[in-house]
Amino acid sequence: AKDVGILAMEIYFPPTCVQQEALEAHDGVSKGKYTIGLGQGCLAFCTEVEDVVSMSLTAVTTLLEKYGIDPKQIGRLEVGSETVIDKSKSIKTFLMPIFEASGNTDIEGVDSTNACYGGTAALFNCVNWVESSSWDGRNGLVVCTDSAVYAEGPARPTGGAAAIAMLIGPDAPVVFESKFRGSHMSHAYDFYKPNLASEYPVVDGKLSQTCYLMALDSCYKHFCHKFEKLEAKQFSISDAAYFVFHSPYNKLVQKSFARLVFNDYLRNASSVDELSKEKLAPFSSLSGDESYSSRDLEKVSQQVAKPLYDEKVQPTTLIPKQVGNMYTASLYAACASLIHNKHTTLGGKRVILFSYGSGLAATMFSLRFRDGQNPFSLSNMAAVMDVEKKLKSRHEFPPEKFVETMKLMEHRYGAKDFVTSKDCSLLSPGTYYLTEVDSMYRRFYAKK
């Protein structure tokens, strides 16, 4: 198979959201902490009628419908998620009724889990399958689905929720440059979910930021090394049109891109001009550890990186800023933002993605865009996802109602024997929702 990659994409996020500005006032933190400090605009969340299964049912069915895909044409289905609904039964199996209805049960793949990295693992599995000798000629489907919720406190404003479905096959408009990959895997307790009775993670916020940046440095080093070996020339930021990051909150994305600029400076890459070199020179002798804790380096490198950030990163930030951290879906929502904003000019361009999942697993990899042909074109992807309309038609909840919803969801997590309100008035037609969990913990969904 040639030019294997993403043929089609659909995104779903709950229509219920809370403004970060309202949350700042409600939480009694200083004005600007969430909006400027974290760089976030809005946070989407599931109410009691939605969960990771209903969101992925919605994303998959709308993708199949809108691109006119026959469910029989799917030969592999992989789900990435860190939201545990069941310790054994995969989310993938909840999606099988969509395919069973057309007589297709011959579909490989189950769920992949490691914090926000599961979606990337699922995606690599699917791409590798299409490129392998076990490929049967049909397409793969990857679903990233998560509800990111935190206990009350500083991490809560970094929540979010979404599902993304991606069709994988040959002759794609978003092609994997599979040779260019750099990974960093390590043992860390930065963010984890050891309490199986709670949906909330245990999180060491500061440590998670440092782990993220260390993994970024390491992945970039490996990525550049592999690129240089294969292409016989140095890689620098100038070799890609866009950089897409896993986005827990926008401020970390700003810091990450600045970190890449600092890396290019240390590697003496051509992407860094003379004035920037002068500004970064005072930091050239810092040790690794010192460089992660230097506030001055953080400030100066962000300032130096700003024009390049505006050009190469800003167009990827729309959905993550407006929806929040979507865990496994976050990186691909950033990619969807880029397609939404730039689909008319992406053809021929390279984009570098950085995937990070706490615990920890991280990979930097490369994609190349082609205009493609309908229905598998960049412009059709943008039309199908219709991000602007989805964002505009949302319903803002006051913070009090958001907090109330979080409390109800704490009780509902892992519970049995209840029916939901079945109130789907805020959901758009075609959206799946949870109706009941019976005495055997079996979950039931309906479609609006």
Catalytically annotated residues: 82, 116, 246
Residue type present at position 232: A
Nearer to ligand ACO, 321 or 342 (CB): 321
What are 367's strand-pairing partners? Answer: 176, 351
Q: Using alpha carbons, select from 304, 327, 273, 305 the residue that is nearest to residue 146.
A: 327
Cα–Cα nearest to 85, from 443, 421, 327, 408: 443
Least CB distance to ligand ACO at residue 201 (A): 7
| In the complex, minimum distance from the CB of residue 159 to ligand ACO, in angstroms, rounded to a whole number | 9
Q: Pairing mode, if any, of strands 16-19 and 395-396?
A: parallel
Give 17 or 252: the residue with its C-beta nearer to ligand ACO: 252
Taking the complex as a whole, the smallest distance from the CB of residue 161 to ligand ACO amounts, in Å, to 14
Binding site for ligand ACO (CB under 6 A): 30-33, 36-38, 116, 154-155, 158, 191, 203, 205, 208-209, 212, 248, 251-252, 325, 358
CB of residue 225 to ligand ACO, shortest distance in Å: 25
Tell which residue, 210, 212, 216, 221, has the closest CA to residue 294.
Answer: 210
Which positions ≥6 away from 321 have C-beta within 8 Å? 39, 40, 41, 42, 250
CA distance 189 to 211: 10
Query: Nearer to ligand ACO by C-beta: 210 or 234?
Result: 210
CB of 16: closest distance to ligand ACO in angstroms?
21
251 carries a ligand binding annotation = yes
350-357/242-245 β-pairing: parallel
Residue 159 or 182 with smaller CB distance to ligand ACO? 159
- Closer residue to ligand ACO (CB): 256 or 405: 256
Q: In the structure encoding, which two tokens stand for residue 72, read together?
A: 């029989």
Nearest-angstrom CA–CA distance, 315 and 47: 29
Beta bridge partners of 353: 244, 365
- Give Cβ neighbours of residue 382 (< 8 Å, ≥ 6 apart): 339, 340, 343
- Nearest-CB residue for ligand ACO: 37
**Dihedral angle of Cα 79, 85, 86, 90, to the nearest 10 degrees:** -20
- Nearer to ligand ACO by Cβ, of 268 and 303: the residue is 303
- Taking the complex as a whole, the smallest distance from the CB of residue 144 to ligand ACO amounts, in Å, to 13
Residue 82: how many CA atoms within 13 Å on its side-chain side? 28
Residues annotated in the binding site for CoA, as ranges?
Answer: 208, 251, 255
Residues annotated in the binding site, as ranges?
Answer: 208, 251, 255
